[in-house]
Amino acid sequence: MPSITINMVINIIGGLKLFDVIISLTGGGPGNASQSMSTFMYDLYFSRQDAGYAATQGVLMMVIILILSLSALVYFRRKEVEA
């Protein structure tokens, strides 16, 4: 069970900050359909030259990942105790 917890949390974090697969396969397109948070930030900064928006997106991404991974960690830890 502890290994399931760790793997779930690591995979949630990894999935939320997915970058290279999207950039090399679709580039975020068609349109914005396959954009992840990381690629969206990349797009904002390098294509649209909007540093402020991109920085905000970076902070927001960190907060979202923190909240989701922490809640997943707490949820799975609780399950561990019950089992």
Partner 1 sequence: MNYSSRRKKTTLSIMALVITLLHLMPFYILITTALKAKGDFSSKWVFPAEINWSNFSEAWEKANLGNALLNTTIITFFAAILLIMVGSLAAYPLARRQTKLNKFMYMFFIAIMVVPPLAALVPLYQLVVSIGLMNTHEVAIFNNVAAYLPLTIFLYAGFIRSTIPKSLEEAARIDGASTMSIFFRIVFPLLKPVTASVLIIACVFIWNDYQFAIFFLQDKSVQTMTVALSGFFGENTNNLNLVASAAIIAMLPMVILFLFLQKYFIKGLASGSVKG
Instruction: Enumerate binding residues for partner 1 (CB under 8 A).
Output: 13, 16-17, 19-20, 23-24, 38, 41-42, 45, 51, 54-55, 58-59, 61-62, 65-66, 69
Q: Shortest approach of partner 1 to residue 45 CB, angstroms?
A: 6
C-beta closer to partner 1: residue 32 or 82 = 32
Crossing angle of helices 2-16/51-82, nearest 10°?
170
- Report how far residue 36's alpha carbon sits from residue 7's, in angstroms, rounded to the nearest whole number: 21
Q: Shortest approach of partner 1 to residue 25 CB, angstroms?
A: 10
Instruction: Give the residue carrying structure tokens 């799975």.
Output: 76
